[in-house]
């Protein structure tokens, strides 16, 4: 670890701490509730077609200070629409495609694929609205909205459905290296150009975008040491940290190799809570920022 305790030159103006995959499994939902009640978690992103989405919505209604957004899922999981209605987006099992590179090319080549994508995105936003939760923010599974055609559809839908913000995965590599450069890849660094384009689209639509996002380099392995180190090196502005907590490391639909339970421990760790208390960044949701601006 490359940090020294309480040695910071910069502090964030606002910090958003989000858990993704709300609704994937009850183990995830329970961890999100624990991390919000006992830890630093301020927001969660809901998979509206997730196997445990109903449980997630029930929990969210009992957590009035948890800011909930939509986790748009266009890969690997089950869609909201019937598979028969979006045949170019699903595989033989009825799950959404996992061949994201080929899908990227299909979107460019085929108006039919683009039409089905647009319909599924609309259906997911509609399902979120039916849940009756305020729409705090929007993000996309595996950041697939960095594809320009997907990004345009997501931004347009977010604006129509009254979202406050869209996550743009701009992760400052200098800060990641300062904390722990294990996990940095050429692919993660190559996303910077796509993220700059997406940020411009989000801002042109009148939506909020964070100044920096952390979670790409250490996805599934955001340990206490990494979280603590990051909190001591946060840049100024609006910063989002996103994580993947769960009460168990293995459950239905879990990702292989993810250290879910370690991420839950990190969010509730006494040293992490003490660091937040010491640095005193305002931990909020995106809608809180919008309310402050009006």
In this structure, is residue 7 part of a structural domain? no
In this structure, is residue 169 part of a structural domain? yes
Predicted confidence (pLDDT) at residue 150 exceeds the cutoff of 70:
yes
Give the chain's domain count: 1
Please report which confidence band the pLDDT of residue 122 belongs to, taking 50, 70 and 90 as the band edges: very high
In this structure, is residue 9 part of a structural domain? no
Please report which confidence band the pLDDT of residue 282 belongs to, taking 50, 70 and 90 as the band edges: confident
In this structure, is residue 117 part of a structural domain? yes
Task: Domain of residue 249: give its range.
Answer: 14-293
pLDDT tens-digit series, residues 214-246: 999 999 999 999 999 999 999 999 999 999 999
Residue 239 CB coordination number (10 Å): 24
The pLDDT value recorded for residue 67 is 98
In this structure, is residue 189 part of a structural domain? yes
Q: Report the CATH number at residue 75.
A: 3.20.20.370
In this structure, is residue 278 part of a structural domain? yes
In this structure, is residue 5 part of a structural domain? no
In this structure, is residue 3 part of a structural domain? no
The pLDDT value recorded for residue 4 is 42
pTM: 0.92
Query: Poorest-confidence range of 158-167, 214-223, 272-281?
Result: 272-281
């Amino acid at each position: 670890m490359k940090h020294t305790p309480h040695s910071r030159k910069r502090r964030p103006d606002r910090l958003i701490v989000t858990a993704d995959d709300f609704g994937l499994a009850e183990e995830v939902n329970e961890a999100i509730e624990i991390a919000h009640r006992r830890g630093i978690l301020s927001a969660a992103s809901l998979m509206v077609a997730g196997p445990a989405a109903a449980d997630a919505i029930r929990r969210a209604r009992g957590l009035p200070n948890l800011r909930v957004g939509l986790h748009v899922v266009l890969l690997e999981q089950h869609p909201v629409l019937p598979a028969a209605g979006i045949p170019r987006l699903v595989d033989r099992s009825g799950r959404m495609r996992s061949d994201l590179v080929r899908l990227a090319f299909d979107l460019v080549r085929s108006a039919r694929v683009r039409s089905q994508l647009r319909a599924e995105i609309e259906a997911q936003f509609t399902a979120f609205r039916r849940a009756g939760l305020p729409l705090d923010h929007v993000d996309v599974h595996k950041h697939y909205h960095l594809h320009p055609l997907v990004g345009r559809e997501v931004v347009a839908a977010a604006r129509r459905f009254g979202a406050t913000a869209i996550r743009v995965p701009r992760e400052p590599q200098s800060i990641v290296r300062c904390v722990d450069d294990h996990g940095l890849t050429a692919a993660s660094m190559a996303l910077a150009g796509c993220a700059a384009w997406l940020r411009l689209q989000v801002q042109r639509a009148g939506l909020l975008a964070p100044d920096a996002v952390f979670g790409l380099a250490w996805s599934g392995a955001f340990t206490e040491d990494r979280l603590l180190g990051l909190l001591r090196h946060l840049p100024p502005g609006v910063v989002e940290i996103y994580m993947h907590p769960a009460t168990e490391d293995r459950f239905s639909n879990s990702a292989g190799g993810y250290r879910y339970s370690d991420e839950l421990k990190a969010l509730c760790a006494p040293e992490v809570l003490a660091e937040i208390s010491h640095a005193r960044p305002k931990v909020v949701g995106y809608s809180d920022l919008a309310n402050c601006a009006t």
